[in-house]
């Protein structure tokens, strides 16, 4: 081989080697990003409502709404859950209650080997042991109607629209309610021990103790948008208003991105701090701003929370830090808070889990719990399967099932 040919061959070999080293196909591939994984998906029991508790006519409705709240019980695989106000619907601008004598209830659900079973049910009761209802309390709240909207039902000052649940170390339950809005203390037998409501609410005729300890401004909650999230840590309770307040009016509330978080002393029912929470823009959820809500809380520490922000279709979890936020308690920021012009510093937040990105997660997630830093449990509210009612007054079930899902996270939440 001539020297010229040998040199050309060497150059060609070197070029080939360089191509081998530099080509992306031969480069070391980045490790795949792990994603959250559903490890358990269990359907909740749905007995006929008349088999669950004595009601005059269940109109074909089955038990549902259990995913309104979720809290780990003291045995692995067991959870405390709570129904909301019961089956309800809308006919035009009328809020209908097809089973008006339904009593909201706390249930204990046991999940074993891919099945869920209700092992205990506690109907919420007045001090004398008689059941409450889920009907609105008084004028200024949604007026209750019969199933077909033909009859106005009486208000019930005892009624609760319970939305989340925690349990204290001594066995006492705590619930939050949409109506007042209120914080509710419940004994182990289901009797309501105390209801803490906004100052100046003036709720009369309740069959249990009512205390006006909460900030008066909270009474401006939008219809059906009172307290929705609740968490416990030591002697503190953390409460979230579902949506921005109608402050100064409904139009402002629907356009606002500023919600409120409240810290309450567990022993006294009195608030110790209040913070602003900034919602994401509605378009980030593919929705209008008015459709964004908070529906669940978990306390990660004394100053950090896991917050579920959602629409009916999309849900995301954020870690929230309270430490550098402005304490709003005292009302000095109330006039301009919802407009975003108050100057108050909201809590900091960071996306932790995008539930929408996890295959198989149902709509309307309301219950969240953290069993350990990498094990998340969620539950949906199926609205009792309420769809349309036939001319005979019987429900045509929506077919939406209540479910509990356990999700393994790729990295711990702290």
**Residue 4 maps to a domain:** no
**Residue 10 maps to a domain:** no
What CATH number has the domain bearing residue 316? 2.115.10
Give me the domain span that covers residue 90.
32-408
Q: How many domains in the chain?
A: 1
Q: What is the rounded CA–CA span in Å between residue 106 and residue 189?
A: 10
- pLDDT tens for 50-59 read 999 999 999 9
**Residue 8 maps to a domain:** no
CA distances from 185 to 3, 65, 115, 191, 211 (A): 95, 20, 30, 9, 11
Q: Helix or strand or coil: residue 408? A: strand
**Residue 22 maps to a domain:** no
pLDDT averaged over every residue in the chain: 93
What residues contact residue 114 under an 8 Å CB cut-off, 6+ apart? Answer: 40, 42
pLDDT value, residue 7: 42
Q: Quick count: other Cβ atoms within 10 Å of Cβ 411?
A: 10
What residues contact residue 204 under an 8 Å CB cut-off, 6+ apart? Answer: 138, 157
- pLDDT tens for 221-259 read 999 999 999 999 999 999 999 999 999 999 999 999 999
**Residue 376 maps to a domain:** yes
Q: What is the rounded CA–CA span in Å between residue 164 and residue 292?
A: 18
**Residue 18 maps to a domain:** no
pLDDT value, residue 295: 96
Q: pLDDT tier at 14 (50, 70, 90 boundaries)?
A: very low
- pLDDT tens for 112-123 read 999 999 999 999
pLDDT value, residue 414: 82
This prediction has a pTM of: 0.91
- pLDDT tens for 21-41 read 333 444 456 566 689 999 999
Which DSSP symbol is given to 152?
Answer: B
DSSP labels, 13-82? HHHHHHHHHH-GGGSPPPPPPP--EEEEEEEPP--BHHHHS--S--TTPBP--TBT-EEE-SSTTEEEEE
**Residue 16 maps to a domain:** no
Q: Cα–Cα–Cα angle for 79, 218, 203, nearest 5°?
A: 85
């Amino acid at each position: 081989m001539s020297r010229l040919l040998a040199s050309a061959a060497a150059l060609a070999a070197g070029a080939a080697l360089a191509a081998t080293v530099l080509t992306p196909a031969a480069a070391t591939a980045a490790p795949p990003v792990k994603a959250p994984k559903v490890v358990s998906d269990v359907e909740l029991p749905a007995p006929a409502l008349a088999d669950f508790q004595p009601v005059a006519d269940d109109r074909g409705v089955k038990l549902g709404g259990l995913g309104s709240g979720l809290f780990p019980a003291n045995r692995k695989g067991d959870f405390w859950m709570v129904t909301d106000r019961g089956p309800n619907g809308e006919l035009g601008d009328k809020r209908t209650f097809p089973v008006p004598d339904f009593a909201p209830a706390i249930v204990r659900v046991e999940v074993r080997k891919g099945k869920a079973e209700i092992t205990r049910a506690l109907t919420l009761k007045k001090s004398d042991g008689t059941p409450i209802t889920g009907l609105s309390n008084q004028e200024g709240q949604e007026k209750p109607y019969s199933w077909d909207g033909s009859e106005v039902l009486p208000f019930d000052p005892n009624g609760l629209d319970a939305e989340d649940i925690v349990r204290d170390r001594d066995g006492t339950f705590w619930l939050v309610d949409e109506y007042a809005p209120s914080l509710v203390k419940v004994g182990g037998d289901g009797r309501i021990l105390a209801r803490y409501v906004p100052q100046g609410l003036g709720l009369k005729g309740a069959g249990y103790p009512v205390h006006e300890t909460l900030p008066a401004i909270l009474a401006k909650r939008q219809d059906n948008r009172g307290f929705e999230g609740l968490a416990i840590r030591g002697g503190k309770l953390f409460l979230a208003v579902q949506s921005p307040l109608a402050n100064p009016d409904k139009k402002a509330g629907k356009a606002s991105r500023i919600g409120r978080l409240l810290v309450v002393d567990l022993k006294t029912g009195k608030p110790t701090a209040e913070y602003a929470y900034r919602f994401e823009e509605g378009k980030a959820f593919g929705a209008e701003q008015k459709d964004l809500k908070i529906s669940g809380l978990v306390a990660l520490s004394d100053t950090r929370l896991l917050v579920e922000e959602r629409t009916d279709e999309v849900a995301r979890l954020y870690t929230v830090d309270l430490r550098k936020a402005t304490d709003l308690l005292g009302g000095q920021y109330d006039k301009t808070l919802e407009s975003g012009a108050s100057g108050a510093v909201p809590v900091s937040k960071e996306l932790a889990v995008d539930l929408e990105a996890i295959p198989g997660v149902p709509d309307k997630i309301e219950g969240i719990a953290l069993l350990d830093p990498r094990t998340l449990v969620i539950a949906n509210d199926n609205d009792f399967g309420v769809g349309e009612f036939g001319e005979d007054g019987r429900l045509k079930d929506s077919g939406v099932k209540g479910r509990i899902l356990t999700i393994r996270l790729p990295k711990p939440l702290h």
